[in-house]
Amino acid sequence: MFMKIPSLKSVTKKLPITELESTDVFYIPLQAYFGTMKPLVAVGQKVQQYLPLAEGKDGSRIHAPVSGEILELNYLINENPHLVLQNDFTNTTYIDQELESATELTDKIRLAGISGSGGAGFPTHIKYKTNAIDTLIVNGVECEPYLTADYALMYDEAGEILKAAQASAQYFGAKNIVIGLEKQNKELVKIFESHSELMHGVSFKLLPNTYPQGGELQLIKAVIGKEIPKGSIPADEGVVVSNVATLLAVYKALELNQPNIDRVVTVSGEAAKHYGNFRVKIGTPIEYVLKKAGVNAANVDVVLGGPMMGKIVTDLKQPISKTSGGLLSFKKSAVKENNCIQCSYCADACPQHLMPMQFASAKFDHDTQKFIQFNVLDCIECGACQYICPSNVPLMQSISEGKSLLKSLQNSVPV
């Protein structure tokens, strides 16, 4: 593996977290990991900040980021339903008795609406329902270029993160807490260590600055030395991996009885004129964040997430969600596709040791068997192959086509 992607983080790395003032209209995403959440409120209802607005089948929740009035329950942005909340700027807060009186950690986490902040947004209360955990891995590896939201959190709120980590470890009965950091961020070790009273059982693992070191499977290998296949459950190996932003949300639920209503977002990118790490309330439309940050969204591609795995924003009303770590802008550019020259760089770059060029040939040859033969389902879609490809062969597109092809095959075969 030889992926050295320039980190491009220097512009925002040293910037402190800035609170972004609330907007007037929020779009609360109802899409969650296990399907769409059901609203707990009605149109016209006045709500206070922190009131639970919707709940999923698994108990996942989302809360009012501000006080105000519900305008709509099913506002579609990119075909996903959103709740529309008009801010009344009175800042009255709701006190959730259920959250305050909960004693079990997983109940607190569920009632506070915490889900993984790193990527997929898996509900944290389900992840925490496990036993026989030996090691809690704190994922402080933010390997996506440009993004510094996690770095800023660790820099500013290391103590809070450690408190949540200790509480989680105690809940699991885990003896070890390993904080994974990139070598380029090793100054954070000192910041964590300054909270000496919270350091029992804590050690650090410094990882190379290569992409995608922050992938869960790669992080677990680096810490416990064992490769576990995609789709397996880390808890079966005695480890739980938790992102630093998730742990901060756990801290707020545990110590302050505060639901998860905001997150830190890095505003950056090659076409951004203004940069920063902003604390943004969940549901804030992207156009508002960009305007406040001073970024002109005209004639640029706006990307939600990191530059490697993020998604392009087609509707600027789309809100910041619990998983949005970055808001980046790039110059619009036409991608010129050339013939694959079989250089094998994609295979060298693949953290899962796959051969991405074979997926492209499977796509163009309409060869379903080839997708299976070369294990397309083991791809974690980190984008490393596409980054390195000197010909811009549509590798990622081939992979997602292959995966959906196999999925549709599975569904059509009676079990």
Partner 1 sequence: MNKVLTHKAPFVTSKLRVSGVMLDVIITLLPLVFFSYLAHGKYSMMVIGTAVGSALITDWLVSWFFLKKPNSPLDGSAIITATLMAFTLSPYTPLYMVAFGGAMAVLFGKTLWGGVGKNRFNPALVGREFMVAFFPVVMTSASVWMAGTYTVVRGLHPFSVFGQGEIINYLNSIFYNTNGALGEYSIVFLALAGIYLVARRRIGWQIPTGLLVTFFALSLWFEDSISNYSIAGVLLGAIFMATDMPSSPNSNSGKLFYGIMIGAVAIICLAGGVKHEYMSYSILVLNGFSTKINEVFIPRTWGRKTDLPLRIKQTVLLILQIVAVSMAVLGLNYYGYIHYLVFVYLAYMIFNFHFFTQKKLQDPI
Pairing of strands 68-77, 17-19: unpaired
Q: Which of residues 50, 155, 251, 387 is near partner 1 by CB under 8 A?
A: 387
Of 52 and 394, which CB lies nearer to partner 1 in the complex structure? 394
Q: Which is nearer to partner 1, 334 or 413 (CB)?
A: 334
CB of 78 to partner 1, least distance (A): 13
HSE of 264, CA atoms in CB hemisphere, 13 A: 28
Q: Based on CB atoms, which residue is closest to partner 1, 98 or 227? A: 227
Restricted to residues 199-218, the positions that interact with partner 1 (CB under 8 A) are: 217
CB of 204 to partner 1, least distance (A): 24
Region binding partner 1 by CB under 8 A among candidate stretches 113-121, 184-192, 283-291, 305-313: 305-313
Binding to partner 1 in span 234-273, by CB under 8 A: 270
What lies within 8 Å, CB to CB, of 204 at 6+ separation is 178, 179, 180, 181, 189, 192
Among 90, 194, 203, 373, binds partner 1 (CB under 8 A): 373
Quote the CA–CA distance of 309 and 179 in Å, as a whole number: 23
CA 49 from chain center: how many Å?
A: 24
How far apart are CB 197 and partner 1 at their closest, in Å? Answer: 38
- For position 347 contacting partner 1 by CB under 8 A, the verdict is yes
Compute the least distance from the CB of residue 144 to partner 1, in Å: 9
Q: How far is the CB of 261 from partner 1 (least distance, A)?
A: 28
Binding segment for partner 1 (CB under 8 A), chosen from 91-99, 174-182, 200-208, 340-348, is 340-348
Assess 78 for contact with partner 1 (CB under 8 A): no
Report if residue 351 touches partner 1, rule: CB under 8 A: yes
CA dist., res. 283 & res. 274, Å (int): 22
- Tell me: does residue 330 bind partner 1 (CB under 8 A): yes
Cβ atoms of residues 222 and 205 within 8 Å: yes
| Residues 16-75 interacting with partner 1 (rule: CB under 8 A) | none
Instruction: Give the DSSP letter string of 230-298.
Output: TTS-GGGGTEEEEEHHHHHHHHHHHHH-----EEEEEEE-TT-SS-EEEEEETT-BHHHHHHHHT---T
Pick from 105, 80, 84: nearest CA to 42: 84
Residue 26 or residue 146: which is nearer to partner 1 going by CB? 146
Is residue 321 near partner 1 by the rule CB under 8 A? no
Does residue number 10 form part of the binding site for partner 1 (CB under 8 A)?
Answer: no
DSSP letter string, 120-157: S--BHHHHH------EEEEE----STT--HHHHHHHHH
Nearest residue to 1 via CA among 354, 339, 309: 354
Candidates 294, 264, 295; CA nearest to 280 is 264
Residue from 298, 334, 413, 415 that binds partner 1 (CB under 8 A)? 334
Least distance from C-beta 228 to partner 1, angstroms?
A: 5
Q: 67 — phi, psi (to 5°)?
A: -85, 155
3-class state of residue 341 by DSSP: coil
> Which of 90, 101, 296, 392 touches partner 1 (CB under 8 A)?
392
Size of residue set near partner 1 by CB under 8 A: 63
Neighbours of 287 (CB within 10 A): 17
- The pattern of x and - marking residues 144 through 173 that bind partner 1 according to CB under 8 A reads -x----------------------------
Residue from 312, 404, 408, 409 touching partner 1 (CB under 8 A): that is 312
Omega cis (within 30) before 16: no
Tokens of 58: 């698994």
137 near partner 1 (CB under 8 A): no
Look up residue 274 and give its two tokens.
């203004």
Positions touching partner 1 (CB under 8 A) are: 2, 5, 8, 145, 217, 227-230, 232, 270, 301, 303, 305, 307-312, 328, 330, 332-335, 337-345, 347-348, 351-355, 357-358, 360-361, 364, 373-375, 378, 383, 386-394, 396-397
